[in-house]
Structure 1
Amino acid sequence: MEIAGQLSHSRDVRTYREIFALPEFRVLFLARCVTTTAVATGSLALGATTYAGTGSPVLTALAMFGGPLITLLGSATVLSVSDTMGPRRASTIMPAAYVVAFAVQALPDLAWGWRFVILALPHLVGSATSGATMRLLHEIVPADGFVLGRASLNIAAGVMQVAGYGLGGLLLVWFSPTVLFLIAAGSAAAATLILRFGIRERAGVTSGKGVVERTREVNRALLGSPVTRPLYLAMWVPNGLIVGCEALFVPYAGQSSAGYLFAATAAGMLLGDVVVGRFVPPAHRDRLAGPLRLLLAAPYLGFWLAPAPAVAVVLGFVASAGYAASLLWQERLVGVTGAAIRGQAFGLCSTGTMVGQAVGAGLGGVLAVPLGAPHAMGLLAVLSLAVSVALTPGLRRSAPGHDRQGSSALMSGF
């Protein structure tokens, strides 16, 4: 098994055929598909149950999409488990937690207040191990294949999320939410078994420090480093502001046309991931990061003029290809962090991304009240561009070949 793993890392992986030829990557991809479908189906069931019990759109939205906010607590205290625990074991904990949570949610007479308590379980557990999957990906694929592998997992998550919500919507026509919870629990159990028996374990990092102490120390180092801090900000802030634009699609275009805008942006993001991950040679990838981060925001400047829905769809499609810049920032993050802290580095990235999106969406709503949706979207685009430009000097410190003095602690680990 060890020899096979070493051989896989000696190969160039630049096509989908080559990356899916790696047995453990196929397992990781399948597990991501099954887990995403389970979470989407279970979230829809929870939303339907909460709305039926409370009649509150706010509580329903929190039930379906508020869970990731819980990861802030875990990321500040126990995120180092992503490194100190073996990555296979760490990766199986979250789907296993979903098995328990969805099985309990299936109880038909459970009070909605308890449903919120149960909702916290998998997200709190996941916040401790959220970087383990990316750590596994780095172990499974060679360095040149990381972007393609990450893009493939992104595509799997996006497609299966749509499929999960679509399947759940159809099932709700004939079955109760209880049945959906049981289906979601079964799917999460399948994902747990797929990872357990399809991935070989790697050793965790030995640390003489407690989990909370190590988590805080590594977080301070990552956020305090002049090398990694600009990378995190580049992945969190400009993207979050553009998510704020997307959060205004309904007030901008109305319910009938907003769906086209959401579909167009999803398609644009998919296209960007495919092109950057599959067709851009590794030697030329990094130089695209700057143009892509500007592309993400620039088309939204056109919303100042309140374009017709057909034009808005094109602008949203083109802009969303710029999300692929995050793939390149993540590739840099691999290059500037040591193996001993890589799981926590990616877990912190994931938490910050979700928080940035939530803040961006909230800011978009606040700005739209006095400015209206078109001008609010244009202003968010200006802010996104301004932040991207301001981060340019700092991002040079993480560029390939740059002399990164003072980052030895990040490279060697803790």
Structure 2
Amino acid sequence: MPSDTSSSPRPPAPSGARPGYRELLRNREFAGLFASFALTAAASALSGFALGSLVDRQTGSPFLTAVSMYGATFATVLGALTLMSVADGSRPRRTLLALQGASLAGIAAQAVPGLPLAARFALLLALGFFQSLGTGTRMGLLAEIVPASAYAPARSLMNITAGAVSVLGYASGALLVRAIGPHGLFAAAAALTALSLAAVAATLRERSIRLARRPGLRSTWAGNAELLGRPGRRALLLNLWVPNGLVVGCEALFIPYAAQYAGHLLAAASAGLLLGDLAVGRLLTAGGRRRAAFPLRLLMAAPFLVFALHPPLPVAAVAVFLAGAGFAATLPMQEQLLALTPEAVRGQVQGAESAGRMTWQGIGAALAGAAAQAVGPAAAITALAAASLAVTVLSRRHVLRETARTPVSAAG
């Protein structure tokens, strides 16, 4: 197994060069990190669908079903607030292996028949905590493994892969849940997580610690204070977190809205995500990505307004597909955040950004479930989409102000 603890410099890229996906995958470490990410995303899709289906069958509650599918995101904020500094203050390969092992144990425990719902939700929170720290560690490694000019294509490829495996995960989950049941889906997700752990162990070598100070609560809080210290950066994070989370709340209501077609709608959303990230990551320049960010944030929410009319399945699927493409707005905003981040805390900052975004996804799911209890799934989907649009429009001038301060070249 790789065990080199030295930190080799990233290879320089020619000025203005934009490496392609094939070139990125020739890098053995990136290929391993990418494979681990893809397998983890597939496991997450299967386990999320399994738990949502199980809770829906046992309780019939839209609120509990929505929270079960996205409730792990609540725990990501615990990682961001407590131990996210381990992403930069500990050996990244060793840390990632430990976190993957903990996730494997948690998913395997979900496969146990007869486990009480309270225990399942406790495991869900634990998995969210491990996931948040794993994301920070993985993204910190990504910024070291690839040159700066390759960061946007690398994130684009990973986002596209997340969309592709989610399409397969949700579509196959909808079919497999009838054949092997939710517990069988959990077992399949555990197997995928084991393969993800093996990919990390076989391909990644150890690197030096980036953060000089000791990781822990104090170090994490200091990094978060720096992250949130500028008003423009707060506005940037707000737009990465809140509109996204509210739209995910819309998606969390697909099972209560149309249980028999929920897999189709989730797959349509993931397919849109795939296409949007492919187009934005490969066809647009850095400047083009920045200009497209605001229209894409509008596209992310606006199609869900059609649910007010209770559309037939084909219309709803097209709307969900278009909204999924709008999630590509995340890519240029992540580029800008990276350009504003000191190298020593890249893992923590990217982990905190991801944790905040996922936490807001959990908040969105909870809000959606609570609203659906009162007014029904269709009306709740419409209300959350409108709220997402309002946040995007009202905060635009603050985001533009921060964008103007960052040179386009800084983001790659």
Q: Could you state the TM-score of these two structures normalised by the residue count of structure 1?
A: 0.81
Matches of 1:400 and 1:19, distance apart in 2: 30
- Opposite residue 360 of structure 2, the aligned amino acid is G
Q: 2:90: which partner in 1? A: 85
Q: Specify the SS of the correspondent of 2:11.
A: helix
1:352 matched to 2:356? The reply is yes
- Opposite residue 23 of structure 1, the aligned amino acid is R
Matches of 2:389 and 2:187, distance apart in 1: 45
Task: State whether residues 332 and 398 of structure 1, in contact with CA within 8 Å, keep that contact through their aligned partners in structure 2.
Answer: no
Matches of 1:173 and 1:92, distance apart in 2: 33
Matches of 1:44 and 1:380, distance apart in 2: 22
Residue in structure 2 matching 1:125, options 119, 123, 130: 130
Q: 1:36: which partner in 2? A: 41
1:187 matched to 2:196? The reply is no
**Structure 1 residues 175 and 138, CA gap change in structure 2 (3 angstroms):** same
Report the Cα offset of residue 376 of structure 1.
4.5
- Opposite residue 146 of structure 2, the aligned amino acid is V
Matches of 1:171 and 1:365, distance apart in 2: 25
Q: 1:295: which partner in 2? A: 299
Which blocks of at least 5 consecutive residues in structure 1 are unaligned? 404-414
Task: State whether residues 10 and 142 of structure 1, in contact with CA within 8 Å, keep that contact through their aligned partners in structure 2.
Answer: no
Task: State whether residues 86 and 215 of structure 2, in contact with CA within 8 Å, keep that contact through their aligned partners in structure 1.
Answer: no
Report the Cα offset of residue 195 of structure 1.
1.2
- Opposite residue 399 of structure 1, the aligned amino acid is T
Matches of 2:272 and 2:332, distance apart in 1: 17
Report the Cα offset of residue 326 of structure 1.
0.6
- Opposite residue 298 of structure 1, the aligned amino acid is A
After TM superposition, the structure 1 stretch with the greater mean CA deviation from structure 2, 140-149 or 268-277, is 140-149
Residue in structure 2 matching 1:325, options 320, 323, 329: 329
1:163 matched to 2:179? The reply is no
Q: Specify the SS of the correspondent of 2:10.
A: helix
- Opposite residue 232 of structure 2, the aligned amino acid is V
1:21 matched to 2:19? The reply is no
Task: State whether residues 51 and 60 of structure 1, in contact with CA within 8 Å, keep that contact through their aligned partners in structure 2.
Answer: yes
Residue in structure 2 matching 1:275, options 257, 273, 279: 279
Q: Over aligned residue pairs, what C-alpha RMSD do you find?
A: 3.6
Within a 5 Å distance, the mapping from 1:260-409 to structure 2 comes to: 260-368=264-372, 376-399=380-403, 402=406
Q: Could you state the TM-score of these two structures normalised by the residue count of structure 2?
A: 0.81
Kindly provide the CA deviation profile for residues 359-380 of structure 1, in whole angstroms up to 9, marking residues without a partner as x. Answer: 2233334445666655544443
Matches of 1:25 and 1:81, distance apart in 2: 21
**Structure 1 residues 234 and 132, CA gap change in structure 2 (3 angstroms):** same
Report the Cα offset of residue 342 of structure 1.
1.4
Task: State whether residues 226 and 397 of structure 1, in contact with CA within 8 Å, keep that contact through their aligned partners in structure 2.
Answer: no
Report the Cα offset of residue 290 of structure 1.
1.8
Matches of 2:343 and 2:130, distance apart in 1: 22
Which blocks of at least 5 consecutive residues in structure 2 are unaligned? 408-412
Report the Cα offset of residue 324 of structure 1.
0.6
Matches of 1:171 and 1:310, distance apart in 2: 23
Task: State whether residues 94 and 122 of structure 1, in contact with CA within 8 Å, keep that contact through their aligned partners in structure 2.
Answer: no
Task: State whether residues 174 and 263 of structure 2, in contact with CA within 8 Å, keep that contact through their aligned partners in structure 1.
Answer: no
Kindly provide the CA deviation profile for residues 286-339 of structure 1, in whole angstroms up to 9, marking residues without a partner as x. Answer: 121122112223334445555554444333322332111111110111001111
Q: 1:235: which partner in 2? A: 240
Which of the two has higher C-alpha Rg?
1
Query: Among the aligned pairs, what percent are the same residue?
Result: 40
Task: State whether residues 228 and 234 of structure 2, in contact with CA within 8 Å, keep that contact through their aligned partners in structure 1.
Answer: yes
Tell which has more relative contact order, 1 or 2 (C-alpha 8 A, sep 6+).
Answer: 2
Matches of 1:220 and 1:264, distance apart in 2: 38
Q: Specify the SS of the correspondent of 1:227.
A: helix
Count of equivalent residues: 400
Report the Cα offset of residue 80 of structure 1.
1.1
**Structure 1 residues 9 and 198, CA gap change in structure 2 (3 angstroms):** farther
Task: State whether residues 302 and 378 of structure 1, in contact with CA within 8 Å, keep that contact through their aligned partners in structure 2.
Answer: yes
**Structure 1 residues 128 and 23, CA gap change in structure 2 (3 angstroms):** closer
Report the Cα offset of residue 393 of structure 1.
2.3
1:143 matched to 2:166? The reply is no
